[in-house]
């Protein structure tokens, strides 16, 4: 990776996110799932075993079901994940004014990472800061973004200076932003009996192989809870979105909610600090599906606390990451 060290370089920023289907219909969802689940960073099974299973069984079964879930949360402007990521980029452009050019790229789907880099190149950029919108590093997410950046730059035959933000799981601006969002929500909706920090899970095997994701999740949540002044019995870390049969990081969010409701807890709030912007996993899985789990087991109220999305605090965090990456200080 070429370091950025020239004050005369024209800087660009690529905000990279997971991606989304083009439409909440079976065909676009199937194409998205095929690209996503074909990534060996996501599923590391032997290709000769996995790809026939993926294309012959999993996608035919999951595409329709996933399309139905996407339709529940789809906005008039499009996919919430894409709309909110683009709005965040626009907020950042406004803060940077005559500074770096800001573009968006999705690891899967459109606009692609290659397309985002191409736009930066066309804008005359010769130094790029890549910010994966994943607070916690994982090879399944962040490394996959960097794989796509490398492949795109090779295809474009372009060698700009680069800085890559590995993670920001303990960045003080991010910790404060998440904590403040929780405070603001609770000021309006009240304080629950239990606050759940639900983060996306990964197979336990990946952690045993050296992925630092779980350790960073733990540090993130402890820092946020500490900033809020919470006692240990007021909050809990859980993991969501597991698929397949092998063990994923635990405790699982849905099972935790089931047990809490059965134990007599009536009011919980769930925040998902691993998601930079709201998406299927927060708006449908947590706010709808897991609410049903909680209520069906005796709970009365599950409230989802929105992600940082395109708010000012999130834009300020991005600004801080950019300034650190290019070595500039605001006066």
Domain covering 172-305 assigned CATH 3.40.50.1400 in the classification: yes
Sheet containing strand 301-305, edge to edge, reads 235-240, 194-200, 267-271, 301-305
Taking residues 247-251, report their average pLDDT. Answer: 98
Domain locations along the chain: 11-167+311-326, 172-305
Residue 8 pLDDT exceeds 70: no
In this structure, what are the phi and psi dihedrals at residue 211, rounded to the nearest 5 degrees? -65, 130
Instruction: State pLDDT tens for residues 73-94.
Output: 999 999 999 999 999 999 999 9
| Structure token digits, residue 179 | 């904590």
Q: Specify the pLDDT at position 7.
A: 53
Residue 260 pLDDT exceeds 70: yes
Taking residues 252-264, report their average pLDDT. Answer: 98
Query: Residue by residue, what is the 3-state secondary structure of 49-76?
Result: HHHHHHHHHHHHHHHHHHHHHHHHHCEC
CA dihedral 166, 179, 86, 215 (to 10 degrees): 30
Whose CA is closest to 249, among 278, 277, 212? 212
Least confident span in 92-101, 169-178, 207-216, 234-243: 92-101
Domain covering 11-167+311-326 assigned CATH 3.40.50.1400 in the classification: yes
Residue 290 pLDDT exceeds 80: yes
């Amino acid at each position: 990776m070429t370091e950025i060290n020239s004050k005369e370089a024209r800087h660009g920023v690529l905000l990279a996110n997971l991606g989304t289907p083009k439409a909440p219909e079976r065909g676009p969802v199937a194409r998205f799932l095929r690209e996503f689940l074909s990534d060996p960073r996501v599923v590391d099974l032997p290709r000769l075993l996995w790809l026939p299973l993926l294309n012959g069984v999993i996608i035919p079964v999951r595409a329709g079901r996933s399309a139905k879930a996407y339709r529940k949360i789809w906005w008039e402007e499009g996919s919430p994940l894409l709309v909110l990521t683009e709005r965040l980029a626009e907020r950042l452009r406004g803060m940077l004014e005559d500074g770096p050019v800001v573009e968006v790229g999705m690891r899967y789907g459109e606009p692609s990472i290659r397309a985002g880099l191409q736009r930066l190149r066309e804008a005359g950029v010769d130094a790029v800061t890549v910010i994966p919108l994943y607070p916690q590093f994982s090879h399944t997410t962040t490394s996959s973004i960097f794989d796509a950046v490398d492949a795109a730059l090779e295809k474009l035959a372009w060698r700009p200076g680069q800085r890559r933000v590995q993670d920001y799981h303990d960045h003080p601006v991010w910790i404060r932003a998440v904590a403040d969002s929780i405070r603001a929500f609770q000021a309006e909706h009240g304080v629950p009996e239990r606050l759940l920090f639900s983060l996306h899970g990964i197979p336990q095997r990946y952690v045993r192989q050296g992925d630092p994701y779980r350790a960073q999740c733990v540090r993130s949540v402890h820092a946020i809870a500490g900033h809020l002044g919470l006692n240990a019995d007021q909050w809990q870390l859980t993991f969501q979105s597991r698929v397949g049969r092998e063990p994923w990081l635990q405790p699982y969010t849905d099972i935790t909610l089931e047990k809490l409701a059965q134990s007599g807890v009536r009011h919980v709030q769930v925040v998902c600090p691993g998601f930079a912007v709201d998406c299927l996993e927060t708006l449908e899985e947590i706010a709808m599906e897991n609410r049903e789990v909680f209520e069906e087991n005796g709970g009365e109220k599950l409230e989802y606390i929105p992600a940082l999305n395109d708010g000012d605090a999130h834009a300020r965090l991005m600004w801080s990451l950019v300034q650190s990456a290019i070595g500039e200080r605001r006066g």
